[in-house]
Amino acid sequence: MTSLPQSHASLLNQAHVFLMDMALDSRFKMDACNLDARVEQIALEIARTGTYEHTAQELEFGVQWAWRNSNRCIGRHMWRSLKVLDGRGTKDRAGVVQALKEHLDHAWQDGAIQSVITVFPPRKRGNVSHPDPVRIANHQLLRYAGFKQSDGSILGDPHSVDFTRRMLSMGWNPKQRTAHTPLPWSIWIDDVEQAPVDHFAHHPGQFPEVDITHPDHPAIDALGLRWYAIPVISEMALVIGGITYPCAPFNGWYMGTEIAARNFCDPQRYDLLERIGEALGLDTSSTRNLWKDQALITINQAVLHSFDAAGIRMGDHHELGAQFERFCQIENKAGRGVNGDWSWLTSPISGSITPQFHRTFDNTVEAHTNFFYQSSPAEDAAARQSTRESISTGRNADPFHLEAHHETPRCPFGFDRLSEVLTRRPKAWRKAANQS
């Protein structure tokens, strides 16, 4: 083992730490013997092939553990309920579309939304210029387009403007352009951008939406607001035991504030606060009367009310805040820490009346198994192309630092602290390293 090159040794180390975490989960019935045998097997596989393949159980635990380790997520006390769909054999555009269709079917459950993740093939290791087999460029699988108008204004979601422009330039031809036009899917196979897939134009039933109404304020109904039911993040990289899966779309269900406070009222998003205030007949001439706060609470009530009336699962910040707090307490009592990012875990409305506000969190990122931001498929493909050129001209560019310490694409919340993992080396491994 001590003769493994540094990158192999680092991968084995991450696999080992991951398996030690897995062995502590009684559902998987791994004793010390099983653990050692599996690590030994993985060491041989890495020595032979430069990588290793997860078993079905490792994939199941891995996605759940990656969710549990996601410092910014307030819903991860439910991590054991995440269901995995294995898409590692998917190779082409049609296969990806079929897998995403199945994903949405599994997730929807007639509104009783189930958390699901589909895992597409892992990134090939060893050769930085090797393309990723499957990538999805969309931020989420369900999302509204943002059309920049000739007068500079934006129709739809400003967050989607660049992506929408790219889809149009790739031949997307939406039937109509509204504030709520579902975006097509941008699938990349082996670094090649495929023609946009306008899935929802043909399967509108897979894009469930809710019209936003308020039980006491018909003026809110008249604003004609709506939002889709299932948030499916599709651009992040999943890392399990050091193996990167650059395409692994996952969904949970919404917490009301995400839609009502952030998507509707953030100034860089639909920016509706003033319109809501005016619709409610509030005096918006000064902030002193707290009309903004009143409008914000009212639209949050409306979103929760509308999802409830439609029978679609949605959390609220009181319920989820209390559940997450209980989770932290149970975990702490059992000697397991729960790391977290305070600014994300604390609700964007009424922060101080949720438990998270009154806690501090250690924001150290568990790097061996987690979800990470990454550069877009277009950026990655371009970087790989330039790497290929520089390799052929004899320069050693490594845009992803894959062979150094950074197996994972950039992560704005501290992935570079790989040392955190390295200090958690398994004992046997440390001994072997010291002897070398």
Nearer to ligand ARG, 342 or 344 (CB): 344
Q: Which residues are catalytic?
A: 73, 76, 253, 258
Smallest gap from Cβ 62 to ligand ARG, in A, equals 19
Provide the binding-site residues for ligand ARG, judged by CB under 6 A: 140, 231, 233, 252-255, 258-259, 262-263
| Nearest residue (beta carbon) to ligand ARG | 252
> What residues are paired with 119 via a beta bridge?
86
Smallest gap from Cβ 143 to ligand ARG, in A, equals 8
Closest CA to 188 of 407, 376, 375: 376
276: which residues sit within 8 A by CB, 6+ positions away? 220, 223, 264, 265, 295, 298, 299
Nearer to ligand ARG, 43 or 78 (CB): 78
Nearer to ligand ARG, 90 or 140 (CB): 140
Total count of residues recorded for the chain: 436
Smallest gap from Cβ 25 to ligand ARG, in A, equals 23
Smallest gap from Cβ 246 to ligand ARG, in A, equals 19
Smallest gap from Cβ 226 to ligand ARG, in A, equals 14
Beta carbons of 71 and 363 less than 8 angstroms apart: yes
Q: For residues 289-303, b (16+ Cβ closer than 10 Å) or e, as one string?
A: eebbeebbebbbbbb
Beta carbons of 234 and 141 less than 8 angstroms apart: yes
Beta carbons of 121 and 53 less than 8 angstroms apart: no
**Which own/partner pairs from 25-29 qualify as long-range (CB within 8 Å, at least 24 positions apart)?**
25/61, 27/61, 27/80, 28/57, 28/61
Beta carbons of 336 and 303 less than 8 angstroms apart: no
Nearer to ligand ARG, 187 or 259 (CB): 259
DSSP secondary structure string for all residues of 32-85: HHHHHHHHHHHHHHHHHHSS----HHHHHHHHHHHHHT-TT-TTGGGGGG-EEE
Written in H, E and C, the secondary structure of 381-425 is HHHHHHHHHHHHCCCCCCCCCCCCCCCCCCCCCCCCCCHHHHCCC
Beta carbons of 8 and 47 less than 8 angstroms apart: yes
Nearer to ligand ARG, 108 or 253 (CB): 253
Smallest gap from Cβ 87 to ligand ARG, in A, equals 20
SS3 state of residue 158: helix
Closest CA to 166 of 190, 139, 142: 139
Q: Give CA–CA dist 323/349, Å, rounded.
A: 17
Smallest gap from Cβ 67 to ligand ARG, in A, equals 10
Q: What is the residue type of 356?
A: Q
